[in-house]
Amino acid sequence: MQMTMRWFGDKFDSVKLWQIRQVPGVTGVITTLYDIPAGELWPLERIQALKKEVEDAGLNIAGIESVNIHDDIKIGRSTRDKYIENYIRTLENLAACDIKLVCYNFMPVFDWTRTDLAKVRPDGATVLAYDQKVVDSIDPQTFFDQTNDNSNGYVMPGWEPERLSHVKELFEAYKDVDEETLFNNLVYFLKAIQPVCEKHGIKMAIHPDDPAWPVFGLPRIITSKEKILRVMKAVDSPFNGLTFCAGSFGSNPKNDLPGIIRALPGRIHFAHVRNLHHFEPGVFEEAAHLSSDGSFDLYEMVRALYETGFDGPIRPDHGRAIWGEVSMPGYGLYDRALGAEYILGLWEAIDKSEKRLK
């Protein structure tokens, strides 16, 4: 297990690499070329420069989050092969820089969705929150505009303007794409990239849908243990893996988080570990990582990762905004650093008690 933090690049992140370097136990970053639109080729020189920047700061690139998938691939348009070709060449360029973990998602149009980016909690911290009633009462374009207006001036991951400047057209393009079609288009994509992944030992780690149900009538397919197992079986090779994201699967209280981890030994390549507080089905807010602050048992989650031999990067996930920090919502330094220390503490305790028992 390697403890990491997500970093969006010097131009886009409020957090600096030297600050991440000072978080005890964090040895790497999960990063991206945030300015490259989905579907375009990542030039080798850009990846090399990013790697140098991170390594000069005393860290390593533990993986990429995300190389985004062009909507034509998800929709299954005839143009998809051109975008898949760019994806394959991007993977080759990453492998040439020894970067072999790629997180991506297969959500149509929108990535993760929250209805409040700064809900005030009793202690004055603010958090991201979700209320299905809000989504049900507003149209997608207004929703998109509101999200961007409330993001402290930062571009939110998955909400990049160039991706979403055509919300209406995209909705139109998805009108014949149901869950089954989306699933088949994912399998088509995975089979197409399989040879390059297997040749270079690249691990692909699909991110679950967040929240874990259809929003705005768009299909969503990575929402439960059964559904992710279906994807794993459809292309049954270790390169085809999962980003276990507690907050995404956990948005549905019916999902048993340690159970999902235990069902996928060897197929979880990356983990986003965090906590949510549920109020009622479809209404939740993000919490501090500590188990007692939310609805999840972080000890059981970390224990399941430990016991299934997880050896990839973990990152703390969305943090609360605390101590006056202003950042991209969910991605400040302070609360994520607290989360990293807590997860490292759980891991050390489990590791030492297991070794003592032996």
Piece in contact with ligand DNO (CB under 6 A), picked from 105-113, 165-173, 183-191, 335-343: 105-113
Q: Which of 71, 72, 111, 285 binds ligand DNO (CB under 6 A)?
A: 111
Q: Which of 20, 28, 42, 66 binds ligand DNO (CB under 6 A)?
A: 66
Is the Cβ–Cβ distance between 324 and 332 less than 8 Å? no
Is the Cβ–Cβ distance between 221 and 184 less than 8 Å? no
Longest Cα–Cα distance of the chain, Å, equals 60
The least CB distance from residue 3 to ligand DNO, in Å, is 17
- Regarding 104 and contact with ligand DNO (CB under 6 A), the answer is yes
Q: How many residues bind ligand DNO (CB under 6 A)?
A: 12
User: Which residue in 226, 224, 221, 223 sits closest to 187, CA to CA?
Assistant: 221
Residue 272 or 357: which CB sits closer to ligand DNO?
Answer: 272
Residue 176 or 252: which CB sits closer to ligand DNO?
Answer: 252
Piece in contact with ligand DNO (CB under 6 A), picked from 73-81, 102-110, 170-178, 191-199: 102-110
The Cα–Cα gap between 132 and 135 comes to 5
The least CB distance from residue 349 to ligand DNO, in Å, is 26
The least CB distance from residue 217 to ligand DNO, in Å, is 19
Q: Which of 90, 93, 105, 223 binds ligand DNO (CB under 6 A)?
A: 105
Residues contacting 292, CB < 8 A, separation 6+:
none
Tokens coding 283 = 């209404």
Q: Which of 63, 108, 140, 157 binds ligand DNO (CB under 6 A)?
A: 157
Q: Which of 65, 71, 286, 293 binds ligand DNO (CB under 6 A)?
A: 65
DSSP E strand stretches across 74-233: 101-105, 116-120, 126-131, 203-207
The least CB distance from residue 52 to ligand DNO, in Å, is 24
User: Which residue in 2, 93, 3 sits closest to 338, CA to CA?
Assistant: 3
Catalytic residues: 207, 245, 272, 317-318, 331
Q: Which of 112, 143, 174, 334 binds ligand DNO (CB under 6 A)?
A: 112
Name the one residue in this structure whose structure tokens are 């929250």: 114
Residue 150 or 350: which CB sits closer to ligand DNO?
Answer: 150
- Regarding 71 and contact with ligand DNO (CB under 6 A), the answer is no
Is the Cβ–Cβ distance between 195 and 85 less than 8 Å? no
The least CB distance from residue 92 to ligand DNO, in Å, is 20
- Regarding 29 and contact with ligand DNO (CB under 6 A), the answer is no
Query: Binding mask 179-218 vs ligand DNO (x if CB under 6 A, - otherwise)?
Result: ----------------------------x-----------
Q: How far is CA 320 from the centre of its chain?
A: 17
The least CB distance from residue 335 to ligand DNO, in Å, is 14
First to last CA, the chain: 20
User: Which residue in 272, 342, 294 sits closest to 121, CA to CA?
Assistant: 294
Tally of CB atoms within 10 A around 145: 13
The Cα–Cα gap between 353 and 358 comes to 9
* Cα distances (Å, whole numbers) of residue 349 to 4, 299, 302, 346: 19, 10, 10, 5
Q: Which residues bind ligand DNO (CB under 6 A)?
A: 65-66, 103-105, 111-112, 157-158, 207, 272, 330
